[in-house]
């Protein structure tokens, strides 16, 4: 899960390249695959690789794994500094990124400024206001039914990508600062300072605009390229993975990044000497793919798409006109759509296995609109799986307490007047649950897990992808 190559090389057996292991696998020199959680692959449904004629890859957080928390800290720094540059208080500069607070999949309430963790039905599991974790009556004051309308996208914004982690933390910092700053009066939907009203909605829009600025201006990409070793994991197994896959199927790269950034990242990851001892020349990164498409603008790419153009690799500029010819190997394309990819590579629907990290953009859209088979990369599962393995006895004890509790009511019905004393069991269940929360190394209250309830993000994973790591 830390790197796609660690899992995907493992599932592609050189002796039988059409075989997909349905159990955990691990690329190592003899260790037991079952004992290495970061290198596990999970299969949601039957997937026969004999039917896969083409493998597609996203780049960011898929082939290119960014180092955490260094990369998120960089993103947070740029976002914070951007807000200060457009007029936000300089006191915000005292905030530094804390990787222990944000987690992927939280929901930001633009009306009240709260960060929420909800299940698949919209029930609120966790609620924070700034860095304060709300409980009981405090949550009821905002949400009387402890429930939100998940489809109300005008009010609720889902922070469902790894790029959103720095943004998530910034929302908490803003609410924390304005709440504690004596210059501002706390209001239900924002903060008042004289004639100025700073609503949570306007703060949200400012952060989103700052996010767009950081990406569109190229400041994040420039800082990344200048320090690739600091921010990007260089895994020598990625070229091996792509080479093996290309021996049995067609391979394409489809990324939202522009050509210049893609070229820099791919050179760093793939252009290594073929043989260090022999001093053989480097293999050009484009040779690992049958087709490379940049500026895809996913999820638009899986619908109507945009104009397909060729990229001048010497200048990085786009050539005029829409490209309508056959596939030219070694050529870089910009824009287009998933239909265009299918036409150029002469493949269809379930013949494609697409690998990506974004549940909505990469996984759900590619499956719903094109019928592609999907492979989700989810590096943030590593910590949870590690806890599940190391502290499994806590889960087993909780399960046992559930069974023991059921025994008290086993022979009771609506006509029974007996009221068993279950206080001791409830107390123990709370203690075990608290121990589980501590194990996940989250701030108190952030991970109050509901047994056998799935969060919105977990449900989307189940619905969308065939395989995930």
**Ordered DSSP codes for 322-384:** ---S---TT-EEES--HHHHHHHHT--GGGEEEEES-IIIIIIHHHHHH--EEEE--TTHHHH
370 to 217, 253, 295, 299, 458: CA distances (angstroms): 32, 17, 19, 12, 22
**What CA–CA distance (Å, rounded) separates 84 from 389?**
44
Is 258 catalytic? The answer is: no
**What DSSP assignment string belongs to 278-323?**
TTPPBPPGGGG-SEEEE---TTGGGTT----EEB-TTT-PBPSS--
The residues pairing with 199 across neighbouring beta strands, listed in sequence order, are 190
pLDDT of residue 465: 62
**What DSSP assignment string belongs to 18-59?**
T---SS----SSS--GGG-GGG--EESS---GGG--EEEE-T
**Furthest-apart CA pair in the chain: how many Å?**
85
The pLDDT profile of the chain, 469 residues, written as one tens digit per residue, is: 444 444 343 333 334 444 433 322 233 333 444 456 667 788 888 888 999 999 999 999 999 999 999 999 999 999 999 999 999 999 999 999 999 899 899 999 999 999 999 988 999 988 999 999 998 899 999 999 999 998 999 999 999 899 999 999 999 999 999 999 999 999 999 999 999 999 999 999 999 999 999 999 999 999 999 999 999 999 999 999 999 999 999 999 999 999 999 999 999 999 987 665 556 678 999 999 999 999 999 999 998 999 999 999 999 999 999 999 999 999 999 999 999 999 999 999 899 999 998 876 666 766 777 889 989 888 878 777 888 888 889 989 999 999 999 988 888 888 888 888 999 999 999 899 878 777 764 433 343 344 334 455 555 555 566 766 6
Closest CA to 286 of 267, 272, 306: 267
Kindly report the number of other CB atoms within 10 A of residue 122's CB atom: 19
Check: CB of residue 461 under 8 Å from CB of residue 369. no
Check: CB of residue 26 under 8 Å from CB of residue 33. yes
Phi, psi of 198 (to 5 degrees): -105, 100
**What CA–CA distance (Å, rounded) separates 430 from 423?**
11
Phi, psi of 377 (to 5 degrees): -95, 120
Question: Catalytic pick from 13, 29, 60, 380?
Answer: 60
pLDDT of residue 319: 95
Q: Which two tokens stand for residue 191?
A: 């903060």
pLDDT of residue 456: 52
Is 58 catalytic? The answer is: yes
Q: What's the whole-model pTM score? A: 0.81
pLDDT of residue 36: 62
pLDDT of residue 182: 96
**What CA–CA distance (Å, rounded) separates 445 from 124?**
13
The secondary structure of residue 28, as a DSSP letter, is: S
pLDDT of residue 390: 85
Question: Catalytic pick from 29, 58, 357, 402?
Answer: 58
Kindly report the number of other CB atoms within 10 A of residue 240's CB atom: 15
């Amino acid at each position: 899960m830390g790197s796609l190559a660690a899992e995907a090389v493992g599932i592609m057996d050189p002796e039988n390249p059409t075989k997909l292991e349905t159990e955990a696998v691990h690329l190592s020199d003899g260790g037991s695959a079952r004992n290495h959680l970061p290198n596990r692959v999970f299969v949601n449904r039957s997937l026969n690789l004999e039917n896969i004629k083409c493998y597609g890859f996203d780049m960011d957080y898929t082939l290119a794994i960014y180092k955490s928390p260094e990369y998120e800290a960089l993103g947070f720094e740029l976002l914070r500094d951007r807000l200060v540059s457009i007029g936000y208080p300089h006191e915000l500069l005292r905030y530094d990124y804390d990787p222990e607070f944000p987690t992927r999949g939280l929901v930001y309430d633009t009306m009240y400024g709260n960060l929420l963790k909800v299940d698949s039905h919209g029930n609120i599991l966790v609620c924070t206001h700034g860095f304060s974790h709300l409980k009981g009556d405090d949550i009821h004051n905002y949400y009387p039914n402890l429930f939100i309308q998940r489809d109300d996208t005008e009010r609720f914004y889902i922070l469902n990508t790894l790029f959103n982690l720095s943004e998530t933390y910034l929302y908490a910092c803003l609410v924390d600062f304005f709440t504690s700053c004596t210059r501002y009066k706390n209001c239900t939907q924002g903060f008042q300072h004289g004639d100025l009203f700073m609503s949570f909605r306007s703060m949200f829009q400012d952060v989103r605009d700052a996010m767009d600025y950081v990406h569109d201006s190229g400041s994040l990409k420039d800082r990344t390229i200048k320090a690739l070793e600091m921010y990007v994991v260089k895994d020598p197994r990625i070229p091996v993975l792509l080479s093996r896959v290309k021996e049995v199927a067609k391979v394409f790269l489809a990324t939202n990044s522009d050509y210049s950034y893609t070229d820099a990242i791919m050179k760093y990851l793939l252009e290594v000497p073929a043989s260090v001892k022999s001093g053989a020349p480097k293999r050009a990164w484009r040779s690992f793919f049958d087709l490379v498409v940049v500026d895809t603008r996913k999820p638009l790419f899986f619908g109507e798409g945009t104009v397909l153009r060729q990229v001048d690799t010497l200048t990085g500029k786009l050539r005029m006109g829409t490209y309508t010819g056959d596939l030219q190997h070694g050529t870089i394309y910009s824009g287009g759509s998933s239909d265009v990819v299918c036409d150029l590579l002469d493949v269809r629907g379930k013949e494609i296995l697409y690998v990506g990290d974004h549940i909505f953009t990469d996984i759900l859209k590619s499956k719903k609109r094109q019928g592609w088979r999907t492979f989700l990369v989810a590096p943030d599962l590593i910590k949870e799986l590690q806890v599940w393995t190391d502290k499994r006895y806590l889960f087993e004890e909780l399960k046992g307490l559930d069974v023991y509790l059921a025994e008290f009511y086993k022979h009771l019905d609506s006509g029974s007047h007996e009221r068993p004393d279950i206080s001791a069991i409830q107390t123990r269940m709370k203690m075990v649950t608290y121990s589980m929360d501590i194990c996940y190394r989250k701030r108190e209250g952030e991970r109050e897990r509901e047994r056998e309830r799935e969060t919105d993000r977990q449900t989307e994973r189940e619905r969308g992808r065939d395989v995930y790591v």
